[in-house]
Structure 1
Amino acid sequence: MTLSHLELPERRPRLTAAQRMLQIETIYYEPAAIERARGREVLDRFPGARKIEVASHRDIPGLYGNEGRVREWVRTKRSTLVLGIRKTLPVRVNGRSADFIAPGQASGCAMACAYCYVPRHKGFANPITLFVNVDEINAAIAKHSVAQGFKWEPSQTDPELWVYDIGENSDCSVDALLSDNIKDQVAFFRTLPGAKATWATKFINRALLDYDPQGKTRIRFSLMPASVARVVDVRTSPMAERIAAVNDFVEAGYEVHLNLSPVIVTENWLALYAELFEEIDAALSPRAKAQLAAECIFLTHNEGLHRVNLGWHPRGEDLLWRPDLQEPKRSEMGGINVRYRTGMKGRMVSDFAALLAAKLPYCRLRYAF
């Protein structure tokens, strides 16, 4: 047989990062959610998905509280979506990543970081729950912001504007793959006097470069040593891609800070962070460096999440669950958390801050603990 007669297998199209992240097969929805235009828009994006009506987005038998699904942890995140109405719209004081935590337009994530705290409240499954009443969420933020008035005293969050974290329980860069919620919120904050939005992200969604934030949205790129991230940052953008994107997002009108969290202590952790800071320094433009600041949180882990992780990703627990370095602390929710030991942690924070100052002297450390 000549080469001209050989039949080659059909080449499958290469999936984009967005297509790999979300391949929605099942959508659970509250009836009220698909009465909203945003809910119908999301359904239209996934015409082949199985649609299942549920009474409440918070109570889905067989999905939440089903320990047998732990081995499908990643598949559930990739293939399942929940649509609901956010019924309570609280704005909470924060003072660290932001002045206030806004009611989120989503909860849960398609990524699978082994240390994420959100699954502790959902029970063996943590897909994205998307809230379709983003207009009501924005109205609640506007009402709160107007009540604050102007920010007369500068703080570590921002010298002039009130900062609202809109992504406490989700990654807004991934949420933007599902709907226009985030695009709408960036536009909303663009015209909201005296306030700006913020969220932390581990996913580079370049569609956001066209949102025109005009300096009123701060994205915090989550960074850690790549060798550690390859173990615990499951299904996220590679570290080099995150670093390389900083300049582009600054040029697009975003304020970009670094979220150096969680800091996971390994045998050579300071040497790994020295390499990371050198990579950042080499990659950033003068404009990006001039506006740079960072926040740092050392790892807090959870006993319940530890047990869940052993069912799907035990290798990550070799880094996260370190009884030789950690001590227990009961959380406000009543669970047992573990954190690096008192005294030892203080020295670690001091060493980390000194290293950051030496390697990235232009990067203000907003807070560290």
Structure 2
Amino acid sequence: MALTRDLLDIQTIYHEAAVQDFPLGKEILARFPEAARIIVPSHWNIPALHGNAGSVEDWVRIKRSTLVLGVKKGLSMRPNGRSAHFIAPSTSIGCAMACAYCYVPRRKGFSNPISLFVNIEQACAAIARHAGRQGHLPEPDTIDPECWVYDIGENGDLSVDAAVSSGVGSMIALFRNLPNAKASFATKAVNRTLLDYDPQGKTRIRFSLMPARIAKVVDVRTTPIPERIAAIDDFVAAGYEVHVNFSPVILYEGWEEDWRALFAEIDGTLTDAAKAQLKCEIIMLTHNADLHAVNLGWHPRAEDLLWRPDIQEVKVSEGGGVNLRYRTGWKGQWLARFKALLAEALPYCAVRYAF
């Protein structure tokens, strides 16, 4: 993916003073020599960005023109057990894209542009130490048959980060050389520079997919769905394990027909080699009242799809957040219908995880 001015045109860089002491920090600053630099006490403490409701009006402009650089303080691993065995320390938070359902703006203000952490060597060393303590995966499980899997992109999109920083390449190189561990991250962007990273089967990319006509409304500033599907074969050939995330599954009149068409497109596009290794995750939509209010300020059309209190209910998440999910009982029935459609259309695509 080219670093297009439409997606990223960095004009302002907020950064912690210590960023300049790290090789990756120097590299990124040198990449944008004309950008204004503003030193801040913390990547979390930027009043012009975080918690500033007025920034809703400039949502996309901020994402395009602003970059935040910081030093990651906490480098611990969190157990996961769903998509991955462990959540690795984030190397970024925030995104240049602007998906209307994204949970990250709830955690770090409003527009929430890319924040990159420049102490990549420390993060890699922490992962290597942790993986070394795990030994071999005792037995195959639904996450992976052989390796401990670390999600390295929980709070951002590494495909876009790689257009700004070499840190993503460093992380993929780390896992290439860890005998018992594999990296994993989800993405909504196709960045073909990643094809040169030589992952040797030790990085799993999960392309997020949904019906294209819905993605045009809610997947703002992302790579079009047909391009994501078309890229799968190339990433498999380049040595990646490539899975898909059917995420989020949004319910509306005619959703089954749209997903059936998407499954047919996948089946008609992928080579036998890509199909043989394909697995998926299914994630039903989770929404949030605060995010609903934010979206009404910049993208109300998306809320026609996302805000459905007639079929949603309040649910407190594991982290204590108050969210909206499809109603208990009905959600299970809709998920079963989705799985039945998938099994009929793509019988070779096993479901690793569904929620």
The TM-score bracket by the shorter chain reads: over 0.9
Aligned to 2:61: 75
Question: 182, 202, 207: which one pairs with 1:221?
Answer: 207
Q: Are 1:252 and 2:238 counterparts?
A: yes
TM-score normalised according to structure 2 size: 0.98
Q: Are 1:265 and 2:251 counterparts?
A: yes
In structure 2, do the counterparts of structure 1 residues 332 and 94 end up closer, same or farther at CA, with 3 Å as the change threshold?
Answer: closer
Q: Which moved more, 1:325-334 or 1:131-140?
A: 325-334
Deviation by residue 1:166-216 (Cα, 9 ceiling, x = unmatched): 000000000001110011111110001100101000000000000000000
Q: Is the 8 A contact 1:73 1:125 kept in 2?
A: yes
Distance 2:146 2:330 in 1: 36
In structure 2, do the counterparts of structure 1 residues 214 and 174 end up closer, same or farther at CA, with 3 Å as the change threshold?
Answer: same
Q: What's the CA shift for 1:330?
A: 2.5
Aligned to 1:150: 136
Question: 125, 130, 138: which one pairs with 2:111?
Answer: 125
Aligned to 2:279: 293
Q: What's the CA shift for 1:143?
A: 1.0
Q: Are 1:364 and 2:350 counterparts?
A: yes
Q: Which letter maps to 2:211?
A: P
Aligned to 2:266: 280
Question: 309, 319, 329: which one pairs with 1:343?
Answer: 329
Distance 2:285 2:175 in 1: 31
Aligned to 2:71: 85
Aligned to 2:38: 52
Q: Are 1:21 and 2:7 counterparts?
A: yes
Aligned to 1:7: none
Q: Is the 8 A contact 1:29 1:51 kept in 2?
A: yes
Q: Is the 8 A contact 1:223 1:260 kept in 2?
A: yes
Question: 295, 300, 304: which one pairs with 1:309?
Answer: 295
Q: Are 1:136 and 2:122 counterparts?
A: yes
In structure 2, do the counterparts of structure 1 residues 107 and 186 end up closer, same or farther at CA, with 3 Å as the change threshold?
Answer: same
Distance 2:82 2:270 in 1: 25
Q: What's the CA shift for 1:37?
A: 1.3
Distance 2:250 2:179 in 1: 38
Q: Is the 8 A contact 1:24 1:81 kept in 2?
A: yes
Q: What's the CA shift for 1:332?
A: 4.0
Distance 1:24 1:347 in 2: 46
Q: Which moved more, 1:199-208 or 1:330-339?
A: 330-339
What is the DSSP-based 3-state SS (H/G/I as helix, E as strand, rest coil) of the residue aligned with 1:234? coil
Aligned to 1:3: none
Q: Is the 8 A contact 1:261 1:299 kept in 2?
A: yes
Q: Which letter maps to 2:41?
A: A
Q: What's the CA shift for 1:231?
A: 0.3
Percent identity reads 62
Distance 2:129 2:32 in 1: 34
* Residue segments in structure 2 that go unaligned for 5+ positions in a row: none
Distance 1:125 1:115 in 2: 13
Aligned to 1:192: 178
Q: What's the CA shift for 1:122?
A: 1.1
Q: Is the 8 A contact 1:303 1:335 kept in 2?
A: no
* Residue segments in structure 1 that go unaligned for 5+ positions in a row: 1-14
Q: Which letter maps to 1:109?
A: C
Q: What's the CA shift for 1:75?
A: 0.9
Distance 1:17 1:42 in 2: 14
Computing the radius of gyration from Cα coordinates, the structure with the larger value is 1
Question: 291, 304, 307: which one pairs with 1:318?
Answer: 304
Distance 1:319 1:127 in 2: 24
Distance 1:107 1:202 in 2: 15
Aligned to 2:47: 61
Distance 2:318 2:235 in 1: 36
Q: What's the CA shift for 1:248?
A: 0.3
Aligned to 2:27: 41
Question: 191, 204, 207: which one pairs with 2:193?
Answer: 207
Distance 2:177 2:316 in 1: 42
Distance 1:290 1:19 in 2: 38
What is the DSSP-based 3-state SS (H/G/I as helix, E as strand, rest coil) of the residue aligned with 2:6? helix
Q: Is the 8 A contact 1:302 1:337 kept in 2?
A: yes
Distance 1:335 1:182 in 2: 30
Q: Which letter maps to 2:172?
A: V
Q: What's the CA shift for 1:334?
A: 4.0
What is the DSSP-based 3-state SS (H/G/I as helix, E as strand, rest coil) of the residue aligned with 2:75? coil
Distance 2:321 2:178 in 1: 38
Distance 2:171 2:199 in 1: 10
Q: Which letter maps to 2:7?
A: M
Deviation by residue 1:151-171 (Cα, 9 ceiling, x = unmatched): 021111101100000000000
Q: What's the CA shift for 1:54?
A: 0.6
Q: What's the CA shift for 1:336?
A: 2.4
